[in-house]
Amino acid sequence: MATVSLKGVKKIYDNKVTAVHDFNLEIADKEFIVLVGPSGCGKSTTLRMIAGLEEISEGDLLIGDKRMNDVEPKDRDIAMVFQSYALYPHMTVYENMAFSLKLRKMPKEEIDKRVKEAAEILDITQYLQRKPKALSGGQRQRVAIGRAIVREPQVFLMDEPLSNLDAKLRNQMRAEIIKLRQRINTTFIYVTHDQTEAMTLGDRIVIMKDGFIQQIGTPQEVFDHPKNIFVAGFIGMPQMNFFDARLEKTGDSYVVKCQDATVTPSAKIVAGLKANNVPSKDIILGIRPEHVSFAAAPSETTISGTVDVSEMMGSEVHLHVNAKGKDVVLRIPTTDLPEEHRGGFHYGAEVNFTFRSDLIHLFDPETENNLL
Ligand SMILES: Nc1ncnc2c1ncn2[C@@H]1O[C@H](COP(=O)(O)OP(=O)(O)OP(=O)(O)O)[C@@H](O)[C@H]1O
Ligand SMILES: [Mg+2]
């Protein structure tokens, strides 16, 4: 059993840089948590404080019921895998994996059992007698993970373990980590700047920026209900489109004026706006590329533009459209395209599009927070 709890955790480095501000998170036993955010947002610092490699400046870290702030790293019952696998080059794979257990003076038979089990899980049994330099990047990373597994830690920490691998191997190892997670019953805290990894691996995702938590939620929650413009833009590929727009309230109804289009939000969004007493105001309207629909002809509800770039992806087309100087990205399933455009669009083609009224996001331009 290992819950991990961070209460008001803060990190101020010696150079007075505050890398992490007031970090609060309750991690359930066996939960897979992903910390994600751009470079320098404080992900590694947070992880290193949990590992005990960095001192906690303020706040409390609990693993289970035990306060760990002043407990030595080796006594925290955690294991960490880094981006640079840092294997011992003069030792075989077997010796690399057995090393920490030998230090603990574990009986030889128990060490042998654990190393072989971990090798089996990671499919590296055939490499146990090789030295790391005779392995590929992906195989080395498996050994690094194996070295952590054999310790049977209560909490497994991983800091960008896949970022040294090429795209194909990274996808493969991502699937391996999902399988690994099903086989070993441990709490995982995983750091990445890759939103795909975050979305596919995490039970919950913690999105960070400049040392502050922006949002905590399941992948679906942060995708469907981003709390602010940063989260909205960070999660989702291609990125959400943002427009300067105007919210108009008349009696009990709302419309959004965006360029030449009048968008009527869905009943659910209107109910939310009413509940929050939102008045008529300037807003930022957000719409994901996959929630923009292609319209055959212009009307009061459409925006018009000309095609800058048409990217044929096979099952869908990504269109970059210039709408009054604004670059708008549309993601359209090939099957939804009119026959003459099945192969894509030529430069300068005129197109009209509308927004799915239940899938628009409305943000306050000043606070950048979601109005709902
Ligand atoms: N030892 C240190 N001393 C002073 N400042 C540091 C130290 N380590 C990190 N920082 C600063 O703390 C902030 C957070 O760094 P951190 O390494 O936690 O970011 P990160 O989210 O892991 O970024 P990346 O994705 O690039 O690995 C950065 O501004 C960084 O410059
Ligand atoms: Mg880092």
pLDDT score for 83: 80
Q: What is the CA radius of gyration of the chain?
A: 25
| Residues that place a CB less than 5 A from ion ligand 2 | 44
How many CB atoms neighbour CB 277 within 10 A? 7
Cβ of 45 below 6 Å from ligand 1: yes
Looking at the CA of 82, name the nearest ligand: 2
Domains and CATH numbers, the chain: 4-233 (3.40.50.300), 238-363 (2.40.50.140)
How far does the centroid of ligand 2 lie from the alpha carbon of residue 61, in Å?
A: 20
Beta pairing partners, 204:
33
Torsion-angle region of residue 48: left (phi > 0), alpha (psi -120 to 50) or beta? alpha
Omega into 298 within 30° of 0, i.e. cis? no
pLDDT score for 105: 94
State how beta strands 187-192 and 155-159 pair.
Answer: parallel
Q: Which atom of ligand 1 is nearest to the CA of 38?
A: 25
pLDDT score for 338: 78
Q: Are 245 and 258 in contact (CB under 8 A)?
A: yes
Cβ of 138 below 6 Å from ligand 1: no
Q: Model pTM?
A: 0.93
Beta pairing partners, 245:
283
pLDDT score for 1: 66
Q: Consecutive sets of 10 residues in the chain, 372 residues long: mean pLDDT of each?
A: 94 95 97 97 97 97 96 93 86 95 94 94 92 90 91 93 85 88 91 94 98 98 98 95 97 94 96 96 98 91 95 90 95 84 86 94 98 96
State how beta strands 316-323 and 326-333 pair.
Answer: antiparallel
Q: Which of 259, 226, 233, 261 is nearest to 244 (CA)?
A: 259
pLDDT score for 166: 83
pLDDT score for 334: 87
pLDDT score for 342: 78
